[in-house]
Structure 1
């Protein structure tokens, strides 16, 4: 079982500069989107980087619901920057884009479809070393800060696919509940529905011991292996939280709109 490294707490975003300093980062790629680039979460991150003497460049052209084109634009920026660490501030789209930028800038000679899931791509295992990646989620639905998956729309075939490998999982996720204060009410509610859907999908997935055949090598084992006793515990816990709070929040949101 691969466990993600998460630090949770109100205001924990302010520590990101120290984290990158401890990693020895000298030239950081900060990825976000146009809307977030003007909001407090990104400003808090930049203040921390400046305070700790971290050089960085901002890429704020991340597309909500990424495509292969938007991925490749971010990858090109990363290749030119010669960065030694990556920092994603945003929702799942931003974090996924940053994962792809880290991967392909670390493997510059690879074709884009080399690492994309089969049958769309070749689904090659990742064997190159990647740079450290810190994810600062500003929504609460995707959990992208914990996964080795980057999802995008492949425009040519009009399908949604992705890249899946433990190698692209963020080095650290900083989960700061204060960021929810800067989300529109409907985005907060939709994030709750995202949690509901992911918890249901996890709990009802095919159990890990029913998948076959066994991979010929551990490196080809899929990032998602099916439901298991540990994921069941957390899926049920997430469902209970949603049942308790989502309806209450949605009711208060409706009252405000009225």
Structure 2
């Protein structure tokens, strides 16, 4: 893609480049507020001086470093057939193939089976993965894996399959662990994963979650009526095989929902608080979270994923035979996975977990399931116009840069209007995409549900800590802010 900058746009381009530079901000009245802004930074040399002068034991001090971790990625049409050779190269003897009952019948699984058999790799197939998994289905999958004692895992499917395989890998490596040991605090103990897991190869069949690149696995914790998960770098797949042929069987509704997840992954990681504003600084690098806040490397992936999604998702949804759009959306999902897998997500995802977990009975058209379901992409996108209107003041430049990706002429837009402009651009995009619920009301939620949604969001500390403009230090204020956000998200 060529980049041409007209003279009249030079100032805007320069402003954007300054915006994406993340080190330490200069001293200013806003610096004491972690969510206030991400303004232009002081020099890296000053950062180093500050960092070296700061004692590591001061755990409540702000972060001073970020880490990048992502799976190895192979991208290309037809590369699924190489998976048998990959396991042979790893020295694997017994592979557990993880999938669901629908994907099991598709060509991607046929390619996988032929590849394993061609290399003489022994394997067993577990096809009991639940779409939008619950803790009960995760535990059933773990119970199925333990007797087989595989030395490697292969996940073939969407995010639900890949996330389930990650947790099968984790709990067969730590067979005596309690299920809540590694689950994100405060719902679980949030213990770090102290050693490497078995090899896991992920073959995505949807273009959305980016789970093939990340150390995150999400599921419903039924007792708490909220989604949660486990996040640690050691959870990420060894290799993600991204073969666009495998996404051609996605129904239009799945294309749309998966693509909306990419949209929010990129927007949330692009607008998350900068890594150097996160507290507390870990006392040991093993405790540095996977979701760290926006940083100069994640920015590149997140912004490109946003541009690609805006350009190609409408085409992918409208025409299942648009090969270029399908391929580009799979690539965008992977790019966004690298971005949010290190920077993190915030309010759209934090609010989505109780939306899915407290579904009043909505069943999304186009999903071949007999139970009520709010697809993950729908649950995150339905609050997006309200969320980015709320966060706009935290960093107007970034919100305007995002709005420009939607085709908005931002040359005359005031900074104070950044949130409203991005919110309107998002709403227009969602409406034009078609067949999307325009707010929580369309999902069956009513005003009396809002308090339950708020209480289901508050425990999502892992992502809320990265939310700009949200005061997570004062529970009463946080509850009031979330209540207003859910009220604003009822209809757009």
TM-score (ref. length: structure 1): 0.95
> Alpha-carbon deviation of 1:252?
4.4
1:88 aligns with 2:155: yes
* Structure 2: gaps of 5 or more residues: 1-67, 321-431, 436-492
In the alignment, which residue of structure 1 is the partner of 2:136?
A: 69
1:11 aligns with 2:78: yes
Secondary structure, aligned partner of 1:150? strand
Render the CA deviation track for 1:151-196: whole Å, top value 9, x for unaligned: 0000111111001111111000000001111111221222221211
In 1: Cα distance, 2:319 partner to 2:116 partner = 37
1:124 aligns with 2:124: no
Q: Which has the higher contact order (CA 8 A, sep 6+)?
A: 1
In the alignment, which residue of structure 1 is the partner of 2:117?
A: 50
Of 238-247 and 13-22, deviating more is: 238-247
1:200 aligns with 2:267: yes
In the alignment, which residue of structure 2 is the partner of 1:211?
A: 278
Secondary structure, aligned partner of 2:96? strand
The residue correspondences of 1:119-198 to structure 2 (distance < 5 A) are: 119-198=186-265
In 2: Cα distance, 1:177 partner to 1:95 partner = 17
Please state which structure has a larger fraction of its residues in strand: 1
Aligned residues of 1:115 and 1:124 also touching (Cα < 8 A) = yes
Aligned residues of 1:84 and 1:132 also touching (Cα < 8 A) = yes
Aligned residues of 2:93 and 2:151 also touching (Cα < 8 A) = yes
> Alpha-carbon deviation of 1:251?
4.3
Of 145-154 and 119-128, deviating more is: 119-128
> Alpha-carbon deviation of 1:126?
0.8
TM-score (ref. length: structure 2): 0.51
**Aligned-residue RMSD, C-alpha:** 1.5
Secondary structure, aligned partner of 1:145? coil
In the alignment, which residue of structure 1 is the partner of 2:292?
A: 225
Secondary structure, aligned partner of 1:225? coil
Judged with a 3 Å threshold, the aligned counterparts in structure 2 of structure 1 residues 18 and 189 are, in CA distance, closer, same or farther, namely same
Aligned residues of 1:40 and 1:182 also touching (Cα < 8 A) = no
In 2: Cα distance, 1:90 partner to 1:249 partner = 19
1:104 aligns with 2:168: no
In the alignment, which residue of structure 2 is the partner of 1:37?
A: 104
Judged with a 3 Å threshold, the aligned counterparts in structure 2 of structure 1 residues 251 and 36 are, in CA distance, closer, same or farther, namely closer
Judged with a 3 Å threshold, the aligned counterparts in structure 2 of structure 1 residues 250 and 76 are, in CA distance, closer, same or farther, namely closer
In 2: Cα distance, 1:60 partner to 1:82 partner = 17
Judged with a 3 Å threshold, the aligned counterparts in structure 2 of structure 1 residues 129 and 101 are, in CA distance, closer, same or farther, namely same
Aligned residues of 2:263 and 2:306 also touching (Cα < 8 A) = yes
In 2: Cα distance, 1:249 partner to 1:72 partner = 35
Aligned residues of 2:252 and 2:318 also touching (Cα < 8 A) = no
Secondary structure, aligned partner of 1:215? coil
Judged with a 3 Å threshold, the aligned counterparts in structure 2 of structure 1 residues 249 and 104 are, in CA distance, closer, same or farther, namely closer
The runs of 4+ residues in structure 1 deviating greater than 4 Å are 251-254
> Which structure is larger by alpha-carbon Rg, 1 or 2?
2
Aligned residues of 1:75 and 1:100 also touching (Cα < 8 A) = yes
* Structure 1: gaps of 5 or more residues: none
In 2: Cα distance, 1:128 partner to 1:193 partner = 34
Aligned residues of 1:28 and 1:56 also touching (Cα < 8 A) = yes
Secondary structure, aligned partner of 1:232? helix
In the alignment, which residue of structure 1 is the partner of 2:312?
A: 245
Aligned residues of 1:106 and 1:128 also touching (Cα < 8 A) = no
In the alignment, which residue of structure 1 is the partner of 2:181?
A: 114
Secondary structure, aligned partner of 2:155? strand
Secondary structure, aligned partner of 2:303? helix
Give the total of aligned pairs: 255
